[in-house]
Amino acid sequence: MSPTPVSSTPILRRTLIWSGVATAVLAVIAGALGFVFAQGEGLVSGLLGVVLAALFLAITAISILVANRWYGDPIYVQLFFAIVLGGWLLKLGVFFLIMVLVSGQPWIHPTVFLLSIVAGVLMSLVIDAIVLMRMRLPIVSDASLPTEVPEDRAPGAPEWPSDGGAAS
């Protein structure tokens, strides 16, 4: 693993921190509104919907952060896509499992549950957009430039034959 950080790492970390704080605020709001409109079932549905939305949306950022730890390895690209795709498949499987388990449960209010999931997704999209618009990221990132140029050559100069330029 390489100690060189990938330029997207600070962006993803900041997104996760902001999302955690916003999830706590949204959970309180969704729980309170759920309780007002559907009592106990609404409270549980609001809290569960926001937490699930935040968890599912955080899995992608976490998988990218984990995959970036192998930056610089010869098989970095393969590991990166394997880890991120694994995270997506995990999300898909867990999402279907949770939806099957909670569908038809008497302690879930479907409307509050759906609206809290949608609110959680919208919250995450807004945070992602704000963080990405405010971050300064170089156009060419994660590139290394040569550090030493021979004194007798200017950068970009054409190669000349070693025999003084005589045609052979």
CA 168 – CA 156 distance, rounded (Å) = 25
- Of 107, 134, 137, whose CA–CA distance to 46 is shortest? 107
Determine the pLDDT at residue 129: 84
Q: How is the chain split into domains, by residue range? A: 9-134
Determine the pLDDT at residue 2: 46
- In Å, what is the CA distance from 123 to each residue of 64, 83, 114? 20, 25, 14
Each of the 168 residues of the chain gets a pLDDT tens digit; together they read 444 567 778 888 888 898 899 999 999 999 999 999 999 999 999 999 999 999 888 888 899 889 888 888 889 899 999 999 999 999 899 989 998 999 889 999 999 999 999 999 899 888 888 887 877 666 665 666 666 655 666 566 666 555 555 555
Determine the pLDDT at residue 151: 60
Q: What does the block give as tokens for 145?
A: 């430039």
Which residue type is seen at 82?
A
Determine the pLDDT at residue 57: 84
CA 1 – CA 73 distance, rounded (Å) = 6
Model's pTM, two decimal places?
Answer: 0.70
